[in-house]
Amino acid sequence: MRHETDVHGSIFFLLKKFVDHNLPLGTWEKLKEKARISRPDYEMTASYPIEDIGGILVAASEMTGLGEDELKERFGEYLVADLFTLYKSYLQPDWKTYDVLIHTERVMHGAVRKLNSTANPPILNVTLVSDQLLMIDYFSKRRMASLAVGIIKGIAKYYNEEEKVIVRSVTPLNDERVQIRVEFK
Ligand code: HEM
């Protein structure tokens, strides 16, 4: 049975792609071994324990010397292009970073929930403070807000807006509820 903190196979698939892209061939298998993961591979239609991601990140952190939050953030940045390809039909052509963020909960994560009964994206409450400031409240027992920070930065990069979009979490990154401030200069 699915557990509340399980993570969708698509995220594991993209994590493997991220590792393959950035680290030498064979690293994914080494990381799985270090994390004592024996399942052969991850399928796009199933969900898997968050502990697998945790174990892979700990092993990757030891291997690269980068902190786990840093790795999660970089992974978030990396996966945006693929997420956008997968869910392209839900993105309007005139949207930029601000628009994608204000539509993520209802449109994007909404589509994910509708299309994949096995997926369970986090709840993101976005407050439109002004046209220069969004406050994003992240709620998830998976405690992956640094991935959220990376995804937001990745979206800004995707639209060539990284110079004008400033992303900063204003509460501790590893909580179940994290507030992220996104400023548009
Ligand atoms: C193009 C828009 C987006 C798409 C298509 C998308 C899709 C997904 C999917 C498929 C998952 C896996 C859910 C599961 O494990 O069951 C996920 C998880 C996640 N999404 Fe999104 N997402 C989008 C935008 C965002 C944005 C803008 C943020 C942050 C502000 C975000 C934050 C996260 C985080 C942190 C997770 C990991 C699971 C968790 O923390 O509970 N996503 N998303």
Ligand 1 pocket check for 104: Cβ under 6 Å: yes
- Give the pLDDT mean for 45-69: 96
Residue whose C-alpha is closest to residue 2's, from 136, 137, 127, 116: 116
Percent of the chain with pLDDT over 90: 88
Kindly give the distance from the C-alpha atom of residue 56 to the centroid of ligand 1, in angstroms, as a whole number: 19
Ligand 1 pocket check for 169: Cβ under 6 Å: no
Best of 11, 74, 75, 90 to mutate for ligand 1, by most ligand atoms within 8 A of CB? 11
> 109-131, pLDDT tens digit by residue?
998 888 887 889 999 999 999 99
Place of tokens 């700990």: 58
pTM of this prediction? Answer: 0.95
